[in-house]
A and B are shown apart, each in its own frame.
Chain A
Amino acid sequence: MNAAEPLKCRPSDYKSEVKPIWCPGCGDYHVLMALTRAMAALGLPPERIAVVSGIGCSSRIPAYTNCYGFHGVHGRSLAVATGLKIARPDITVICASGDGDGYSIGGNHFLHACRRNVDLAYIVMDNHIYGMTKGQPSPTTEPDFDTALAPGGTGLRPFNPLVVALASGANFVARAYSGNPNETAELIVDAIKHPGFSFVEILSPCVTYRPDQRSWKDRVHPAPVTPTDDPARAARRLMTDDGFNLGVLYRGHRAPYTPPTAAAMVAPESLEEEFEV
């Protein structure tokens, strides 16, 4: 098989026989649809792709694909993905999180993954809630959203993941809406192809704990601007946008992380020489 020539693939080639346990109506079904379409469009053999996740409803996604998957612990997916990609640069690594997994417990890894700029695609299914643990506020939850854990709302300003990604050095920043699976698929393809750390925030409604998010379909709209490679301009846009602008919002040119390599390799046995008396 010629590696340069994409295979003729169908999205179903990338779906496993494991049936999702997501609630009917969950936005993550669309993300799975978008992801498998993106994989088929890329034409990579499933065994050349790894999908790495943490814990949450959204983080269940790896096993629903036919690729290599890693369903780790809560918040650490980016670290696993980073180790895997650096150790195995030949594998296409996609990291998947939820807003709790990626922005709260895994927040530090998010900053450093952006900064490190390893060639990964990072997709976060943001539903502004902790779905799996049944409806607690997440870093992106609106301040007045009433929950059992924060009666009357948290009163806290939501986290702006796109601005944080940009400020931390992400090389590609995009926002998608799961209800537009084809557009989302195209953004995922773009993110995978773009060198370095590519971040796609996917607005993906939780119909069970955030039924109000069914109205997102009427709120999302294409970003009224073309993608920029100027971080200052991107920052201004992201700081002032309404949270529903879709599309590529920043596309940078930073070279991806590459580990140092030795000019000449030596046998490990020879390393003991430095200790010889």
Chain B
Amino acid sequence: MTAGANSVSVAMVGSGGAGVLTTGEMLLEAACAAGWNGLLTRSVGPQIRGGEAASLLRLARSPVECMADQFDLLVGIDWVNAGRFGDEIPLGESSVLVCDPAAGAPPPMAANAKRVIELPIAEITKAHPAWRANMLALGAAGHLLGLDESALHGVIAKRFAAKGSEVVAANVAAAAAGARAVDTERGRVALAPVAQAAAKRWLITGNEAVALGALLGGVRFAAAYPITPASDILEWLAPNLTKVGGTLVQAEDELASVNMIIGASYGGVPSLTATSGPGLSLMIESLGLATAAEVPIVIVDVMRGGPSTGIPTKSEQSDLNIAIYGMHGDAPHLVIAPQSVGDCWLSAQWATGLAEALQAPAIVLSDQFLGQAQTAITRPVERPPTGKRRVADGANLPYARYAAGGDGVSPMAIPGTARCAYTADGLTHTERGTPTSGAHDHVAQLDKRRDKLDGHEYGPLWATIEGDSETAVLAWGSLTGVVREGIAQARADGVSAKLIAPRLLLPTRPAEMSAALAGVKRVLVVEQTHGMQFLKYLRAHYDLPAEVSVLHRPGPLPIRPHEVRQRLIEGGSR
């Protein structure tokens, strides 16, 4: 990296108690205070506490949506078990390695980094027992990045304020010492400064953004069963739902949580739960119930590696199949996939509104990367269209809860409404809700539930479509940002490509997709699955051009922008 880069990536590693996770957060916060944007993910060993850990940061002048191709700076507080992060921390010749010679030999992945700076952590902390190793590392990293020292010291002061001024002073001194120790031009990976942004900015994770978005969309009831990496949503909602007059209940399992939100929503209160693959698997039967009984609910699935318990802490897009096809019977529902952390805020609002307006379950398909990446982003402003439930008031009698016809959305009576009492049923029913096994009613109700979703006008939010080219890259969810950056890289090489990323995965939009693919001769599909689930989904529902290739890989290794660029260049669209 030369001085003044637009984006710099930093990895910090250490083991039990080294504090790399906190250090990463503080570095992001300080960078943010200095006007930069960025994102932070973490990687940890299987230990509950005290294992090896890595903070992976990307700091940039403008908001970024994915990790970069390689790391510019690796700071090792120690190297205990650090080798396990080898795959996740690609380094190049220009990368800088900061390490303590007393910590022993760096792990193999560090061999690529040719610029090495010694930071004698053990020696310094021995001389100054009040100084912590991670503060030395923080000061060193900040200095090499060209981070304004006052911003860093401000964050330290804030973080340790409760512990008293002595502690603050010691930590500030340690950071300053770290900076001095690496004060060499050789190690500079400086990020170009930015003027303080005019727009409001947030420091937020995708999980927090989903939760906030859901509240803005109208959610006032949540049921919770903890699961990584979705628990953050529920933990954020617990106090905040109360503040807006709503309620969160902890359920005994996901079978209960989904049915609790169905019960609450049947009672007229917009409701949500959040889970990951194993929990979604348990909820599936009741998702069918919500479809058949036409009860609006929102389920956020923060995807992790599967099948089974899989890799709880790593991202994957492999719940696509279950989200789309998981239910038995013909069960139309909504599947909405946020494409960035900011988009989590938007997608959750949109999904809640659609679920309410269309009286159907909506799955928000987020993933571990989006959910847990802490990001500094420009505050999203544009709110999606709102959706309100159509309710019965007792004017049209006799009341037929499931009256077919029109746009397929029939007014829903809320308990307490006189003259409209009905029984919501998962059994095939007549328009009045009475169970039946007759072909006519079965087909009429299947048609109704399909038509109300298919016939809805979803507007431009259905997909992100950017650029124009005979080559299109199709991606979804968190891979959208990766592809966007890969396309930008290819453009620098003179290769163009169009980005098509559906946000609305179900119901499918064949006409809109055809329009988006007009003039496109070849398609590259990019997805983070082993089984090419997205490719198969696209083939099943859309007419793709003859030339189709796919870049896919399961988690835990992210797909990086340069891989997209590479494939586009090989594809040769000039």
Contacts and interface: CB of A to CB of B under 8 A. Distances in A.
A16 B133 CA distance: 74
A72 B426 contact: yes
A73 B289 contact: yes
Nearest to A51: B423
Given A71-B427, A259-B249, A275-B202, A87 B244 contact: no
B421 interface: yes
Given A91-B416, A277-B376, A63 B434 contact: yes
Interface string B415-447: 111111111111100000111000000000000
B21 interface: no
Contacts of B223: 83
B62 interface: no
Contacts of B201: 276-277
Contact of A73 (B202, B266, B426): B426
Contacts of A18: 434
A241 interface: no
A62 interface: yes
A76 to B, nearest CB: 4
Nearest to A46: B421
B434 A83 contact: no
A87 B259 contact: no
Contact of A88 (B203, B267, B413): B267
A87 B269 contact: yes
Q: Most chain-B Cβ atoms within 10 A of its Cβ — which of A69, A85, A275?
A: A275
A118 B474 CA distance: 48
A39 to B, nearest CB: 12
Contacts of A62: 423
Nearest to B256: A79
Given A63-B435, A69-B421, A272-B202, A277 B32 contact: yes
Contacts of A275: 202-204, 208, 212
Interface string A239-277: 000000000000000000001111001111101100111
Interface residues of A, number: 52
Interface stretch (A108-116, A156-164, A185-193, A209-217): A108-116
A9 interface: no
Interface string B7-50: 00000000000000000000000001100000000000000000
B200 A276 contact: yes
Contacts of B240: 271
Contacts, number: 182
A265 B243 contact: yes
B271 interface: yes
B286 A73 contact: yes
A271 B260 contact: no
Contacts of A112: 251-252, 256
A83 B264 contact: yes
B382 to A, nearest CB: 14
A49 to B, nearest CB: 8
B421 A63 contact: no
B534 interface: no
A86 B249 contact: yes
Given A80-B266, A262-B243, A268-B244, A69 B203 contact: no
A57 interface: no
B379 interface: yes
Contacts of B263: 52, 70, 79-85, 87
Contacts of B453: none
The size class of the interface chain B forms with chain A is 35 or more
A273 to B, nearest CB: 10
A111 B252 CA distance: 9
Contacts of A73: 259, 285-286, 288-289, 426
A259 B33 contact: no
Nearest to B211: A271
B215 A268 contact: yes
A67 interface: yes
Contacts of A79: 251, 255-260, 263
Interface in B351-383: 376, 379
Contacts of B265: 83, 87
Contacts of A269: 216
Contact of B421 (A67, A109, A260): A67
A139 to B, nearest CB: 17
A73 B263 CA distance: 12
A66 B251 contact: no
Contacts of B379: 272, 276
A108 B253 contact: yes
A50 interface: yes
A221 interface: no
A271 B238 CA distance: 13
A145 interface: no
A48 interface: yes
Interface in B134-148: none
A267 B244 contact: yes
B255 to A, nearest CB: 6
Contacts of B285: 73
Nearest to A277: B201
Contacts of A83: 221, 223, 249, 259-267, 271
A90 B416 CA distance: 9
B6 interface: no
A45 interface: yes
Contacts of B249: 82-83, 86, 259
Interface string B164-208: 000000000000000000000000000000000000111110001
Contact of B203 (A260, A268, A277): A277
Given A91-B267, A268-B216, A277-B33, 17 more contacts: A18-B434, A62-B423, A69-B422, A71-B423, A71-B427, A76-B286, A80-B259, A80-B263, A80-B266, A83-B249, A83-B259, A83-B262, A83-B264, A87-B220, A87-B263, A87-B264, A87-B271
19 contacts: A47-B419, A47-B420, A48-B416, A63-B433, A66-B421, A72-B259, A72-B262, A73-B286, A73-B289, A76-B256, A87-B264, A87-B265, A88-B269, A261-B242, A265-B243, A271-B240, A271-B243, A275-B208, A277-B201
Interface of B: 32-33, 200-204, 208, 212, 215-216, 220-221, 223, 240, 242-245, 247-249, 251-253, 255-269, 271, 285-286, 288-289, 293, 376, 379, 413, 415-427, 433-435
Interface of A: 18, 45-48, 50-52, 60, 62-63, 66-73, 75-76, 78-88, 90-91, 108-109, 111-112, 259-262, 265-269, 271-272, 275-277
